[in-house]
Chain A
Amino acid sequence: QKEVEQNSGPLSVPEGAIASLNCTYSDRGSQSFFWYRQYSGKSPELIMSIYSNGDKEDGRFTAQLNKASQYVSLLIRDSQPSDSATYLCAVILNFGNEKLTFGTGTRLTIIP
C-alpha cells in the first residue's frame, strides 16, 4: 500500500463548478496534512494545511480531514481556468521519523 495515495487523474471540471480532490494515507498516527499546487514547469506551492478533523476554509478552497477514515480532501469552489494544475497531497507520517511524504498528485483541468 502506498503511504500517500491520490487518483492521478486527469480530472476535468467545468469552469464555475466544484472540483473535488481526494487523498488517502496509510499511517493512522499522522497529524499534519498539506495540499500543494504545482503548475507545469514550476515548483509546488502550499495552498492549504490542516491538522484537525473537520473542514478548514480559505477563500475558494476547503480542506476536509477525516482521521478515522484516513482521508483528506480539497474542494475548490467556483473553479477557474487558473486553477488548472497538479495538486499534491502531502502528509507528515509518524513512523518514528517525521518527514513530509507526497502523493503522486492529481492533474486538474478546468474547462472554460
Chain B
Amino acid sequence: ETGVTQTPRHLVMGMTNKKSLKCEQHLGHNAMYWYKQSAKKPLELMFVYNFKEQTENNSVPSRFSPECPNSSHLFLHLHTLQPEDSALYLCASSQDLSGSSGNTIYFGEGSWLTVV
C-alpha cells in the first residue's frame, strides 16, 4: 500500500465508449501524474499537475482528458480510444515537482485498460 489508490484496476472498453480512471492519494502531496506503460516501452509521462494546475501535457492525444479537482484526486477521462491505447495506466504523486533529494514519486497499483 503506497498511499495512492487507483480505480478501476481493470477496464475493458469499446472504441466508442466513454470511461474514466480515478486516482486518489492519501499522502498530502501537491503533485500528481499520469503515466502510461505499454509492453516493451519505457514508462511514458502523460500529464503533470501541481496544486491542481496542469503543468505538463506530454503531447497526449485529446482522446485522453485529465481532470484534477483538488490536490488529492486525479481523473483520466477516456473517449473514442484506439486498440493501441491498451496499456497499464499508472497514477503517481510526489510532495512537489522538484528534483531535490527526498522528493520521491509514489505509484498507485495501476489500471489495466483494454480497448476492443
What residues of chain A have their CB less than 8 Å away from a CB belonging to chain B?
2, 4, 8, 31-32, 34, 42-46, 49, 51, 88, 90, 92, 94, 97-105
Contact = CB atoms under 8 A, between A and B. Distances in A.
Contact of B45 (A44, A88, A99): A99
Interface stretch (B11-19, B61-69, B75-83, B99-107): B99-107
Nearest to A97: B56
A2 B44 CA distance: 13
A99 B98 CA distance: 9
Nearest to A52: B101
Contacts, number: 50
B48 interface: yes
Given A8-B40, A44-B43, A104-B41, A99 B56 contact: yes
A9 to B, nearest CB: 11
Given A42-B109, A99-B56, A51 B41 contact: no
Given A45-B107, A99-B56, A104-B42, A32 B101 contact: yes
Contacts of A45: 2, 107
A69 B104 CA distance: 25
Given A44-B107, A46-B106, A49-B101, 14 more contacts: A4-B42, A32-B100, A32-B101, A42-B109, A43-B107, A43-B108, A43-B109, A45-B2, A46-B105, A51-B101, A92-B99, A98-B97, A102-B43, A104-B42
Given A43-B107, A43-B109, A51-B101, A100 B45 contact: yes
A41 to B, nearest CB: 8
Contacts of A42: 109-110
